[in-house]
Amino acid sequence: MTSAGIGAVFDRAATHYVEVSPLLWNPIGEATVAAAAIAAGERVLDVCCGAGASAIPAARAAGPHGHVDAIDLAAGLLSHGRRRATAEGLRNVRFVRADATTWQDRPYDVVQCVHGVFFLPDMDTAVSRLAELLRPGGRLVITAWAQGAMESFGRLFTEAVAHVRQAPVAPPASRQAASTIDTEEDLRSWLTARGPTRVTVTRFPLRIPLDAARAWQVVLGSGFRGMLSGLEDAAVDQVRAAFGRLLRERGMTELDATSLIGAGTRP
């Protein structure tokens, strides 16, 4: 899927993305900012910022003398982020519709990306370039899914989509990229190869109680929504019914959303 296509998927997901954020995206964003150890007065670039789950706490940490550039391709999510910043009285964060692979501003004290690097075309090259936007001594912070996280959920949803489409459904390309950095050692090695040194990886366990309604909310508020592209409303309803049935039959009552947070320093 192209960058524009990914942006369109998350534009359609915006309302549900925000609804599921208190349970899913916000806790992970807060944990990422804690691992980044953002200090007052620092400049931060938040890549694939969504509705501000990590950009907003970063702005709080940076304080009035710091600044956060929060960039994403989904205009709908950016609008939610702006409203949230306004509601909190944060004037040190700007939400910009921009492509991370061509962003030019520099230097930053922190570049962070929460569950977004695997949507970038050529993840390795894109993140190596982002690392170059850091000042010497700046930190690159990347959050990825831990091995096994979201996998059972994704398999059942893929099975439901395949049942309705009556054809095999390939997992999203982002899943393959994500699987290359889903262990502590793999994420540490991958980040080190991008240039940073003194890389540490923190595991952030997160398990969310799940019923059919919440599971569907997660689908509509995440990248899984892209697998519904091209389906008529009636077919989407069939996928929802099939997914709910599979959840009951397989006894899935919890979503594993455990994340790995890697942080390294530019020499």
Answer yes or no: pTM beyond 0.95.
no
Higher pLDDT, 14 or 106: 106
Q: Mention every residue, 6+ apart, whose C-beta is less than 8 A from residue 122.
A: none
Q: What is the CA radius of gyration of the chain?
A: 18
- pLDDT > 80? residue 5: no
User: Of all helices (H) and strands (E), which one includes residue 8?
Assistant: helix 3-12
Asked if residue 161 lies in contact with residue 239, where contact means CB atoms within 8 angstroms, the answer is yes
Q: What is the rounded CA–CA span in Å between residue 170 and residue 76? A: 27
Average pLDDT (20-41) is 97
| Residue appearing with tokens 């509705």 | 51
The model's pLDDT over 172-188, given as tens digits with 9 standing for 90+, comes to 778 889 999 999 999 99
The model's pLDDT over 91-102, given as tens digits with 9 standing for 90+, comes to 999 999 999 999
Q: What is the rounded CA–CA span in Å between residue 242 and residue 257? A: 22
Asked if residue 135 lies in contact with residue 110, where contact means CB atoms within 8 angstroms, the answer is no
Average pLDDT for the chain: 94
The model's pLDDT over 196-233, given as tens digits with 9 standing for 90+, comes to 999 999 999 999 999 999 999 999 998 899 899 899 99
